[in-house]
Amino acid sequence: MSARILVVDDIEANVRLLEAKLAAEYYEVSTAMDGQTAINMAQRDPPDIILLDVMMPGIDGFTVCRKLKEDPATRHIPVVMITALDGRADRIQGLEAGASDFLTKPIDDVMLFARVRSLTRFKLVIDELRQREASGRRIGVIAGAAARLDGLGGRVLVVDDNERQAERLAGELAADHRPVVETDPETARVSASGPVDLVIVNAAAKGFDGLRFTAALRSDERTRHLPVLALVDPDDRARMVKALEIGVNDILTRPVDPQELSARAKTQIQRKRYTDYLRNNLDHSLELAVTDQLTGLHNRRYMVGQLETLVRRAAMGGDEVSALLIDIDHFKKINDTFGHDIGDEVLREFALRLASNVRAIDLPCRYGGEEFTVIMPETRMADALRIAERIRKHVSASPFKVANGDEMLTVTVSVGVSATGGPEDTPEALLKRADEGVYEAKASGRNTVVGKAA
């Protein structure tokens, strides 16, 4: 899996060395020799990952990282800080500035590529979600900006058979989060499928295989995107690499530094909330694309797609499909007399009555204006006529309360009913027959149901 990587270092020899190593693994590499140039390049053409030196003249790496994370256009780009220092304070300062991780010079090639591959997978997911969200904004089904997405107050699941160590971790996290400790991996898997923001797993647990536990989370659709922070021994390089390969999001070495734990947990929770925000927006945009906003029913676009599938199945010997086309009688007169606001109230009330009088397998939709359809799988004409009559009676039996109950309107509907009639039938023909039924119902005095056979 390739990626575009921006290498930032004021020492040309370091830049060239990293560039050669990455290019040999088929990564596309660009370079910058100072912090401001790096910021400009990231804003102009955002890379997938930034490898950022800490000690640079002018703007140091911490400041560059902080500026990138403050900019909505670049905050999603993973930053790995590279330093000749291995000091605790510098590591924590980098994490608090928004860095995804630290690598110490001389760089371990195996750890470098493991970390790059891990962050590349994450960036691909973020890019896909951001692209879909942007598409939703362009067509107007997503509006507004993200709420404040901080990394505090998260529900953290600590999975460790060393109870003393687990309780110590939970105690450190309790100031900012809501930690829960599980010592049994099976119980922990059940807990992880609930409302959890972060899992911290002891990768070197004695009673269970922490990496196998992580792999199980990644194979389960309910926990696939849950961030995992693995606790490992600092000299267990092989386990660190394997953890990153199977999908661990971050590594925490023992003995655990409380501030580093806090910074890494905050980063992972903040990242999860951002991806959740993007996924929720995507789900919302998909829902809006197939839903009529006034009535809450599915719209014509969704209905057409479902009807095509059902009619095709019926043509191949499957169950019959019936369609109701329903038109509210004299709706223009309601709008002209009482105004469009009252007309909208009538449409919403009608949609409620319609939805409450069809079966769970039926698909009630707003077809357009005051016209509605009900697509009825596994339904013959006789049964569809019976349901149509029930809808007609329920609409006309009691007046519609509008204008906060100040007005009571008598509303009736004309209904056309059709059913599939053989292998040559089409969705268009099915709806056309139902439409002919509506016209016949109106011509015969309205408030009636007419079936039109194939």
Q: Which residue has the tokens 């003995």?
A: 255
Q: Are 217 and 209 in contact (CB under 8 A)?
A: no
The amino acid sitting at 343 is: G
Query: In angstroms, rounded to a whole number, what is the distance separating the alpha carbons of residues 126 and 72?
Result: 13
Q: Which residue has the tokens 């999908």?
A: 247
Q: Which residues are catalytic?
A: 370
**What separation in angstroms does the CA of 348 have from each of 124, 329, 411?**
41, 15, 13
Q: What is the gyration radius of the CA atoms in the chain, in angstroms? A: 30
Tokens of 37: 């140039």
